[in-house]
A and B are shown apart, each in its own frame.
Chain A
Amino acid sequence: MTAITFGDDGRTVSIGEVSDELAAEADDRLMEQFFEASTLTQEELLVGLQAATAARRVFPLCVRRQRRTWVSSRF
C-alpha cells in the first residue's frame, strides 16, 4: 500500500509505503509494540489503519473499474 502524506502546512506531500509508524500512531498499545519491536505484523498494521481511519487521520482510497471492484477486504 502506498501512502500520500500531507505535511502540517497542508502543502508538502510525501509519497511512500504505508509505514508501521503511521498505523501505530492511532493506537497506544500498537505504539508501545512499535517502540519495543520497531515493527508491526501485518495484522497489527491493519488494526492500526482501521483505527486511524475511524479517527479521520487516514483516508483509504480504493480504485474501481467499471466491472470489477477492488474494494479491499482488509478495511
Chain B
Amino acid sequence: MKVYDAPYIRNVALVGHSGSRKTQLASAMLFDADAVNRLGRVDEGTTVTDFDGEEIARRHTLSASPAYAEWKKTKINLIDTPGIANFFSDTCCALRVADAAVVVVDALHGAEVITEKVWDEAAALDLPCVVVLNRLDRERGGVCNVRSSRCRARSDEPWSPFSFRSASRMNCAESLTWSR
C-alpha cells in the first residue's frame, strides 16, 4: 500500500441533514477519483461507505464510515457520516478528526436542522467548510429555492460555483435561511 507523507493526507467529513445524499456524493467522488471502478448507488445498496446490512436495507447511513481516494497526489480520507439526529454523535466524532467539513445541502429542502447543527459543530472546532448544494437538477430543486432570503432580490445572478464570506464568524444557518 502506498505510504503518504502527512502533508499529503486530508481527512474530510461529509456532513449534512438526512437525505441530502452524502453517501451518494461520497460514492461519486470515489468514482471520479478512480478509487472504485463502478459508481455505487444507495438505491442498489452498492456504495462503498454503506456496507452494513442494516444500512443497505434502510438506505440510511447509521455510523460514520471512511473511504479514501487519491486526488492530485494527496490522499483524501472521506468520512461519510449519518444525517439522522439519533446518530449525530458519530457525526461529531467524525468532525473531531476531520481537517475540513463538506456540508451537503439538499437543493429541494435547503438548510435543515442537522445542517445547522453540523455547521455550529464545525464552527466550534474551527473547521474549514465547503458547502455542496445537491440535486439541483430535480424538478423543484434550484438555487432560487435555497439561496438566502437576503439575496432573493437578485434573481438574475448566474449561480455557478461561488464563494461567500463574512467579516465576522458567519452563521450558516442564518445566511442559508432558504425559502422552503
Q: Do A and B come from one complex?
A: yes
CA distance in complex: A3, B160 (Å): 10
Q: Known contacts A1-B162, A6-B167, A63-B136: does B157 contact A56 (CB below 8 Å)?
A: no
- Report chain A residues within 8 Å CB of B28: 64, 69
- Report chain B residues within 8 Å CB of A65: 135-137
Report the count of interface residues on B (CB-CB < 8 A): 45
Q: Known contacts A13-B151, A15-B154: does B164 contact A63 (CB below 8 Å)?
A: no
CA distance in complex: A69, B72 (Å): 17
Surface stretch bound by A, among B1-9, B44-52, B90-98, B169-177:
B169-177
Check A66 for interface membership: any CB of B closer than 8 A.
Answer: yes
Query: What is the CB-to-nearest-CB distance from B22 to chain A, in angstroms, rounded to a whole number?
Result: 11
Check B73 for interface membership: any CB of A closer than 8 A.
Answer: no
| B→A interface (CB under 8 Å) | 25, 28-29, 32, 71-72, 100, 107, 123, 126-138, 143, 148, 150-151, 154, 157-172, 174-175
